[in-house]
């Protein structure tokens, strides 16, 4: 089997915590040949750590290389539109970290660029490749709980989550400014950065597009400019409900707990973390769940599965396992939630037709 040659763009938090280890895990199938990051020292460090032969401060130099089969874009969402279109125009297949984009129009342009250039585009919604969610989907498809009527996932993250992962990278921070993930110049906040997981999962499990959404959001981080907490209720076209409450600024040490519940006409699926935690430590200071991030979300294997299946689609010239249209529809829900939280009104989701090939 020929190893596919990969160029990685964006050597920040998600690249170092998930993508680069996954590529290394798949070393018999993938070869990391180059890394690009606007911070040259980060590109160099990632390249040297994971065996790439080249690194660049300008991702366009990476795209100009003729020996790259696909690029793995790990930059913030505000860059995805420009970089995905540039990669498609350079004839590269594209695996891109979620969220797909900052707007629906950007997502549509990205899909069109991939179609126009005949390259594959997949957005890395890692939870679609996570065993716990795949098992839930399988149970739904088997009809175990009848017709899905309500999906709720509450997601909790500590402010220090990525520090606790002991990774050596961090969020890109423009000089004199705050990290992009807390800056209104670069992101719309939790609705996109991680609640897009919940909008995507709810839509996947219900099997319908959204009709309307109501959301409230707030900023809890005194250093932040964008909401880091959001709660919303989505009404899908068949009347089913998707609901989530996501907060990213919990106290240091709070476990990465999720509460996924799916209520069907004939039964319920609960995959809530507290009773599932495989490892607990009790001390005078309280209880800790040291392995939550890795064990409950299966973060490592999820990204391995995701990249492996995308690579197989590239190698075999078959459809990607997750259509970019799915990611585009998740963006439609998340940006509608942002609009609702800003206007204080319930927002209708515009109807959209899936283009051929998407």
List of residues contacting other proteins (CB under 8 A): 145-146, 149-150, 152, 154, 156, 212, 214-220, 229, 231-233, 235, 239-241, 243, 245, 247, 249-251, 254, 263-268, 274-275, 344-346
Pick 26 or 136: Cβ nearer other proteins: 136
DSSP one-letter string for 213-235: EEEEEE---TT-SS-SEEEEEEE
Q: How far is the CB of 141 from other proteins (least distance, A)?
A: 18
155-to-71, 164, 243, 250, 314 alpha-carbon distances in Å: 30, 17, 11, 11, 33
Pick 67 or 223: Cβ nearer other proteins: 223
Pick 102 or 235: Cβ nearer other proteins: 235
Q: How far is the CB of 263 from other proteins (least distance, A)?
A: 4
Pick 82 or 245: Cβ nearer other proteins: 245
Q: How far is the CB of 80 from other proteins (least distance, A)?
A: 29
Nearest to 310 by CA among 323, 329, 327, 292: 323
Q: Which two tokens stand for residue 4?
A: 């596919």
Q: How far is the CB of 333 from other proteins (least distance, A)?
A: 15
Q: Which residues contact 98 (CB under 8 A, 6 or more apart)?
A: 77, 123, 124, 125, 126, 196, 197, 200, 327, 330
Pick 145 or 181: Cβ nearer other proteins: 145
- For 143-160, b/e burial (b = at least 16 CB within 10 A) is eebeebbbbbbbbbbbbe
Q: How far is the CB of 135 from other proteins (least distance, A)?
A: 17
Pick 251 or 356: Cβ nearer other proteins: 251
269-to-146, 149, 263, 350 alpha-carbon distances in Å: 11, 12, 7, 30
Nearest to 7 by CA among 17, 18, 19: 19
Integer Cα distance of 268 and 204 in angstroms: 16
Q: How far is the CB of 184 from other proteins (least distance, A)?
A: 17
Could you report how far apart the first and last alpha carbons of the chain are, in Å? 28
Pick 185 or 346: Cβ nearer other proteins: 346
Q: How far is the CB of 157 from other proteins (least distance, A)?
A: 11
Site of tokens 């590529």: 23
Q: Is the separation of the CB atoms in 155 and 258 below 8 Å?
A: yes
């Amino acid at each position: 089997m020929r190893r596919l040659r990969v160029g990685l763009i964006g050597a920040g938090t998600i690249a170092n915590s998930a993508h680069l280890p996954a590529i290394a895990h798949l070393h018999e199938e993938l070869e990391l040949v180059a890394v690009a990051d606007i911070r040259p020292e980060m590109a160099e460090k990632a390249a040297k750590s994971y065996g790439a032969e080249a690194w660049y401060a300008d991702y366009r130099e990476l795209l100009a290389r003729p020996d790259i089969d696909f690029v793995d874009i790990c930059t913030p969402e505000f860059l995805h539109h420009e970089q995905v279109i540039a990669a498609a125009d350079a004839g590269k297949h594209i695996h891109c970290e979620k969220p797909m984009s900052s707007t629906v129009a950007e997502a549509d342009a990205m899909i069109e660029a991939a179609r126009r250039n005949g390259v594959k585009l997949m957005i890395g919604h890692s939870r679609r490749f996570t065993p716990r969610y795949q098992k839930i989907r399988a149970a739904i498809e088997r009809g175990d709980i009848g017709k899905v009527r309500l999906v709720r996932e509450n997601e909790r993250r500590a402010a220090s989550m990525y520090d606790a992962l002991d990774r050596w990278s961090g969020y890109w921070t423009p000089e004199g400014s705050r990290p992009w993930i807390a800056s209104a110049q670069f992101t719309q906040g939790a609705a996109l950065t991680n609640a897009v997981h919940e909008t995507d999962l709810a839509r996947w499990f219900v099997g319908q597009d959204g009709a309307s959404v109501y959301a409230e959001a707030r900023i809890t981080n005194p250093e932040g400019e964008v909401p880091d907490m959001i709660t919303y209720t989505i009404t899908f076209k068949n009347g089913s409900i998707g609901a989530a409450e996501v907060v990213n600024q919990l106290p240091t040490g709070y476990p990465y707990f999720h509460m996924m519940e799916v209520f069907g006409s004939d039964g319920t699926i609960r995959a809530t973390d507290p009773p599932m935690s495989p490892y607990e430590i009790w001390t005078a200071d309280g209880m800790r769940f040291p392995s939550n991030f890795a064990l409950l979300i299966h973060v490592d294997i999820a990204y391995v599965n995701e990249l492996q299946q995308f690579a197989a689609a590239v190698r075999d010239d078959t459809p990607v396992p997750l259509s970019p249209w799915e990611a585009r529809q998740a963006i439609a829900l998340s940006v509608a939630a942002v609009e609702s939280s800003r206007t204080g009104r319930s927002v209708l989701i515009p109807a959209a037709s899936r283009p051929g090939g998407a």
